[in-house]
Amino acid sequence: MSTPPEAGPARRAAERAARESYGRLVAFLASRSGDVAAAEDALALAFAAALRQWPVEGVPERPEAWLHAVAKRRQLDELRRHADDVRLAADWRVLLDEALPEADELPDRRAALLFACAQDGIEPAIRAPLMLQTVLGLTAAQIAEAFLMAPATLGQRLVRAKARIKRDGLAFALPDRADLPARVASVLDAVYAAYTKGWSEPDPAAGIAMAEEAIWLATVVTGLLPDEPEARGVLSLMLYAEARRRARTDAAGDFVPLSEQDVTRWDARMIELATRLLQAANDAPASGRFQVEAAIQSAQVSRRLGGTATLDDIVRLYDLLALLAPSPVVRLNRALAIAQRDGPAAALPLLDELDTDERMATYQPYWAARASVLAGLGLRDMAQVAFRQAIGLSSNAAVRSWLQRQSDGLGSVR
């Protein structure tokens, strides 16, 4: 192809640095200047310079430090151009910082940036998306998919939020301990959305990196707020899911649903940790969305391992979840739990109710669920239409093949 052969490794190194360091670098650069958009711009230019220079000059020994140095220089150039501006306080912070010797390791300020995105000046609905974009480097389209929002609208709101941070000079330091509890809910929403995004990522390596990042951030938040049961809840929830990662595909790379997974491939140590976290979370009086979702995971794992949890327990947990966090996604999962307990006929009316929600038209899990319920009822033609829609909306090749096998299987049982 058009890329010279020696450019391949350099380009891959730049891409890996972009994936692994994006959030850390934006957090670091923005924590000095308070301007997230400018930090992203400076970093984008640094990545562009890397793609130009690394294939020629070789990949630097510490790619992240190289990117940081170039982005910082770029940030300074930009500040000097606006030397007459009134944002003196921020400017001085950066210039002072410039005078300090380069640290070998960049301090990790991602957690601080997460909490900074949740401050009063930023409208609540945009906080989690803002964190995903600035700390985890997701695109507006990926975030829109995770939150069932229109990409164009979300993009505009993100731009407005960043302009607001810049105009009001909102601080990007770790907030006071007293401020953390009020901000933690949107931080946890963002962390969990990043984790679920990691699940559906078409590139497995990128998906694992994203999931690890989300688990790491949740661990940091749990450390900052040891009394916050929802932080433990979300960490428990993610660990239950992560423990099953290896079992989710078979040796041939094909998708395996939870009910058919080989439990010996589950990570027992991770499940034990998840269970301990859930128990610790449940010691607190309040019960939040993530605790309930972790409890559902725990019940499902327990059922597969021959424990005492029943299908009725799972439905009742979904009832509770629907009260705590009503959303079409929760209604969809509750319908699937009811299908398991009472059979597909009980679930179909619940799915039909959801069908009026226009967001479901392009929501892949809805069509996969609808297809399996219709198949269970023997409504072959309708099931095949739903399977087709689920296949057409999937970005995961293993899931596509699995859905196709389910759909083909309908033909033979007829």
**Half-sphere exposure (Cβ direction) of 236: Cα atoms closer than 13 Å:** 29
Instruction: Give the residue ranges of DSSP H helices in 169-259.
Output: 180-200, 204-224, 229-242
- Give the footprint of another protein on residues 241-280 (CB under 8 A): none
Instruction: Give the residue ranges of DSSP H helices in 6-150.
Output: 7-33, 36-57, 63-81, 88-99, 110-116, 124-134, 140-146
215 with 239: CB under 8 angstroms?
Answer: yes
Residues 6 or more apart whose CB falls under 8 angstroms from that of 190 comprise 114, 117, 127, 128, 129, 131, 132, 135, 136
Separation of alpha carbons 335 and 352, rounded Å: 10
222 with 239: CB under 8 angstroms?
Answer: no
Work out whether 164 is an interface residue with another protein (CB under 8 A).
Answer: no
- Binding segment for another protein (CB under 8 A), chosen from 147-155, 186-194, 219-227, 339-347, is 147-155
- Select the residue interacting with another protein from 145, 228, 230, 293 (CB under 8 A): 145
CA 190 to chain centre: 6
Work out whether 44 is an interface residue with another protein (CB under 8 A).
Answer: no
- Give the footprint of another protein on residues 200-239 (CB under 8 A): 202
Contact pattern for another protein over residues 352 through 371, marking x by CB under 8 A: ---------xx---------
Comparison of 197 and 331: residue with beta carbon closer to another protein: 197
- Select the residue interacting with another protein from 389, 402, 406, 410 (CB under 8 A): 389
As given in the structure block, the two tokens for residue 368 are: 């996969």
DSSP 178: G
- Binding segment for another protein (CB under 8 A), chosen from 34-42, 141-149, 189-197, 292-300, is 141-149
Work out whether 40 is an interface residue with another protein (CB under 8 A).
Answer: no
DSSP 306: T
Comparison of 322 and 329: residue with beta carbon closer to another protein: 329
As given in the structure block, the two tokens for residue 342 are: 């009472």
Query: What's the farthest any 2 CA atoms get from each other in the chain?
Result: 77
Comparison of 275 and 389: residue with beta carbon closer to another protein: 389
Comparison of 114 and 391: residue with beta carbon closer to another protein: 391
Separation of alpha carbons 73 and 289, rounded Å: 44
Comparison of 372 and 389: residue with beta carbon closer to another protein: 389
- Spatial CA neighbour of 288 closest among 232, 331, 339: 232
- Binding segment for another protein (CB under 8 A), chosen from 25-33, 151-159, 168-176, 288-296, is 151-159
Contact pattern for another protein over residues 74 through 113, marking x by CB under 8 A: ----------------------------------------
Residue 249's φ and ψ, nearest 5 degrees, are: -130, 145
Separation of alpha carbons 195 and 410, rounded Å: 33
- Binding segment for another protein (CB under 8 A), chosen from 3-11, 67-75, 375-383, 393-401, is 393-401
Q: How far is the CB of 126 from another protein (least distance, A)?
A: 16
Work out whether 139 is an interface residue with another protein (CB under 8 A).
Answer: yes
Work out whether 196 is an interface residue with another protein (CB under 8 A).
Answer: no
As given in the structure block, the two tokens for residue 95 are: 């210039």
- Binding segment for another protein (CB under 8 A), chosen from 32-40, 64-72, 283-291, 386-394, is 386-394
The residues that touch another protein, with contacts defined as CB under 8 A, are 1, 139-142, 144-145, 150-152, 155, 202, 361-362, 388-389, 391-395, 397, 400-401, 404
